[in-house]
Amino acid sequence: MGSRLLVESHKEVEIVCGIVAITSEKLFSVKKDLLFGLKKLEYRGYDSAGFATTEGNYGKEVGDIDNLLRSTQKDFLTKTAISHTRWATHGGVTKQNAHPHFDAKKEVFLVHNGIIENFLELKAALEAKGYIFRTETDTEVIVNFLHDRMKTSKPIDAMRDFMKAAKGTYAVVFFKTGSDKLYAMKKDSPLCLGVSKGRVFVASDIYAFSHETDRVIFFEDYEMAEVSPQGFQFFGMSGPMKKEPVQIQWEREPVIKKHFDHFMLKEICEQPAAVERLLHSLKTTQAKRMGEIADMVRGCKRIFFLACGTSYHAALIGSYLLSRLGFEAHAVIASEFEDFSIIDKDTVVFAVSQSGETMDVITVLKDIKRFNPKIIAIVNYPYSSVHRMADNYIEIMAGQEICVAATKTFTNTLVAIYELARVLRNHIVLDRIPSIIEEVISENESNVKRLAKKLKDKHDIFVLGHRVSYPIAREIALKLKEISYVHAEGMMAGELKHGTIALIEPGVPVIGLVHESNRDRMDSALREVQARGADVYKIGNHSKDFMLPDGLNEEEYSIVSTIIGHLLAYHIAKLNGLPIDKPRNLAKSVTVK
């Protein structure tokens, strides 16, 4: 008998912001070493940035890390320092609210990723002891709490007291001024430790120190560490614990745009190579794992794809393909999973998260573990939280994605899902995809730019799809919102006449995703809007608007139509002078409940 999932109520949670800390036997440069690592995590937040050294030197600046680098006239040399790039939750985007935070005497400097839900309660207790708060952040509560406890306790005991008292989500790194030691603790937000010769890193993401070491330890919830240049000691809530580094593999490409104006365009154009890399992996190093996952699917009663945002659009396609193969498959937005589904040991849950750190997904996985489902992660970052919680995983191997908007990670997630369907006996041909992507990008540059000029001043755009192209319509609409700041709606062509057609008037742009598999339904819907004065543009084989190769199968079409939509959003944003790689209010790995 299945168990009805009952997810606990969670308040506002966020897992963005980037933390990088270093402690070293030899002096290092704040600009060249510390902020270089922080720059690699800027996709996690770019409202403000800051650093502090154990000598008491610090700097903060509103905006991205480049602003901080420009404003920091002196390059400090130190042996121990912390840094932070922020995505604001508690408190506005101001220099005062930027991290690191410190107590009134500047004896403790601290950076924090997460949200302390009961910070007002903790703040009142500290104010009663005479502590004065100068910022609007919840982080200032942590630094003052620890400062207060460390008057009579060791740092590890102070951290343990904090974890007993605090409610919420946090990754915290701090030091005491004049010390060469770092202290760190973690609950829900990601945190890892990198071990190099004579130097130790603590960061939100392994990529922050990937240029220097491949030896990593991951913090689990309610774990703490004392870190010095000579080594480290981990602690749990009940005392010391032994943890050893694991050696991991990752790409070490430099974070440069090359000749591209923006990372988004670079990452779109990297897709032929990214897909080729994934296809090779799926045939070789991941082939055995794909067979194991296929067996798990064959032996289950029901399947759920769990995802958010762009990953949810890929999940919709996954549920469509597996349903077509005869499985009971559903795609569910993670934040809506509560009271939604029957979960038991015969359920397979695909957790789709390019970062592997999406808190809505992690929260659901923690809650459903007690029902013993089989969990399969589909992630771009192995060793991420979602990966470590799963029974098996597919690595999509898209490489580092700097632009906040997901492009190549979406394509590679689709390819991974298509390969799973192929292994499950769907007749899918994937080998042509890299060359087709390359052809579509090169052949349609002028076409996309021409349409972008027509649409750059439009306030509303509708994107229509049917079958597999319906999730693609939603994905294109999402990119138009994220990057171009255009109100866009992606919807099923058959639903148009059930209300939305009331918004169609002369001059409203409607983009139709037309493939041979859905041509009759799409042509009918597009004639309806055209009769009401809409400006209709088609992404299809027989379209005058774009040039697509003949004979595309449904899977190939879904990928190239997505790429055209992503390019369109990019060029509209570029014409309007928008911050393409860092769109307002967004960050790479964020969820708020």
**Catalytic residue positions, numbered:** 17, 588
Q: What is the 3-state secondary structure (H, E, C) of 350-407?
A: EEEECCCCCHHHHHHHHHHHHHCCEEEEEECCCCCHHHHHCCEEEECCCCCCCCCCCC
Cross-strand bridge partners of residue 444: none
**Which two structure tokens, joined as six digits, stand for 507?**
């001059």
The label of the residue with tokens 């919807």 reads 491
CA distance 568 to 453: 10
Using DSSP's 3-state secondary structure scheme, residue 548 falls into coil
In degrees and rounded to multiples of 5, residue 123 shows phi and psi of -65, -45
Nearest residue to 199 (alpha-carbon basis) of 29, 17, 383, 56:
29
CA distance 133 to 259: 47
Amino acid at 327: F
CA angle 506, 509, 512 (to 5 degrees): 125
Nearest residue to 428 (alpha-carbon basis) of 558, 274, 516, 280:
558
Strands (E), 237-373: 239-241, 246-247, 302-307, 329-333, 342-343, 347-353
List all residues 6 or more positions away from 368 whose beta carbon is below 8 Å from its beta carbon.
Answer: 5, 343, 349, 375
Amino acid at 335: S
Q: Torsion-angle region of residue 540: left (phi > 0), alpha (psi -120 to 50) or beta?
A: beta
Number of Cβ within 10 Å of residue 513's Cβ equals 28
CA distance 456 to 572: 5
| Element (DSSP H or E) covering residue 526 | helix 519-530
Please list, residue by residue across 68-79, b when 16 or more beta carbons sit within 10 angstroms of its beta carbon and e when fewer do: bbeebeeebbbb
Q: What is the 3-state secondary structure (H, E, C) of 433-490?
A: HHHHHHHHHHHCHHHHHHHHHHHCCCCEEEEEECCCHHHHHHHHHHHHHHHHCCEEEE
Contact between residue 555 and residue 418 where contact means Cβ atoms under 8 Å apart? yes
C-alpha torsion 276→280→285→287, nearest 10: 110
Q: Are strands 48-53 and 215-218 parallel, antiparallel or unpaired?
A: unpaired
Please confirm whether the linkage preceding 100 is cis (ω < 30° from 0): yes
CA distance 60 to 65: 10
List all residues 6 or more positions away from 178 whose beta carbon is below 8 Å from its beta carbon.
Answer: 54, 55, 56
CA distance 160 to 153: 10
